[in-house]
Amino acid sequence: MEVTYQLDFAQELKKCVRCGKCRTSCPVFHELRGESASPRGRLALVKALQTGDLEPSEELADRLYTCLLCKTCAVDCPSGVISDEIFVAAREYLAEALGQPLMQRALLRGFLTRPGLHSSASSLMRLYQKSGAAAVLDKTHLIEHLPEKAEAAARLLPDVAGRPGRKRVREVTPAQGEKKYRVSYFLGCATNLLYPQVAEDTVEVLSRNGCEVVTVDDVKCCGMPHLAYGDVDTARELARENLRALADAGSDYVISDCASCSATLGETYQHLFDPGTPEQARAKELADTVYDVSRFLVEVTGIEPGEHQVEATVTYHDPCHLSRAQKVTEQPREVLRAVPGVEFREMAEADRCCGSAGSFSVMHHDISAKILERKIDNVEATQSEVVATSCPTCTMQLSFGLRERGSKADVVHPVQLLARSYRGK
Which residues form the interface with ligand SF4 (CB under 6 A)? 16-22, 26-28, 39-40, 42-43, 67-73, 77, 79, 81, 83-84
CB 252, min distance to ligand SF4, A: 34
- Give the neighbor-by-neighbor strand order of the sheet with 172-173: 172-173, 211-215, 181-185, 253-256, 290-292
CB 350, min distance to ligand SF4, A: 16
CB 24, min distance to ligand SF4, A: 9
Closest CB to ligand SF4 among residues 364, 413: 364
Alpha helices in 115-158 (DSSP H): 115-130, 133-139, 148-156
DSSP-derived secondary structure for 222-281: -SHHHHHTT-HHHHHHHHHHHHHHHHHHT-SEEEES-HHHHHHHHTGGGGSS-TTSHHHH
CB 15, min distance to ligand SF4, A: 7
CB 20, min distance to ligand SF4, A: 5
Backbone angles phi, psi at 302, to 5 degrees: 80, 160
Closest CB to ligand SF4 among residues 27, 225: 27
Determine the Cα angle at 224 with ends 219 and 228, to 5°.
155
Closest CB to ligand SF4 among residues 320, 419: 320
Question: Can you state the percent helix, strand and coil of the chain, rounding each to 5?
Answer: 60, 10, 35
Closest CB to ligand SF4 among residues 67, 376: 67
Cα-atom radius of gyration of the chain, to the nearest Å? 21
Of 320, 258, 313, give the one whose Cα is nearest residue 290.
258
- Per residue, what are the HEC states of 354-385? CCCCCCHHHHCHHHHHHHHHHHHHHHHHCCCC
CB 7, min distance to ligand SF4, A: 15
Closest CB to ligand SF4 among residues 74, 411: 74
CA distance 185 to 206: 9
Closest CB to ligand SF4 among residues 40, 420: 40
CB 348, min distance to ligand SF4, A: 18
CA distance 419 to 202: 8
CB 16, min distance to ligand SF4, A: 3
Closest CB to ligand SF4 among residues 71, 220: 71
Of 325, 313, 254, 242, give the one whose Cα is nearest residue 289.
254
Closest CB to ligand SF4 among residues 84, 204: 84
How buried is 96 (Cβ within 10 angstroms: 0-12 exposed, 13-18 middle, 19+ buried)? middle
CB 77, min distance to ligand SF4, A: 3
Torsion of CA 59, 72, 390, 212, to 10 degrees: -100
Of the CA atoms within 13 Å of residue 262, those in its CB half-sphere come to 32
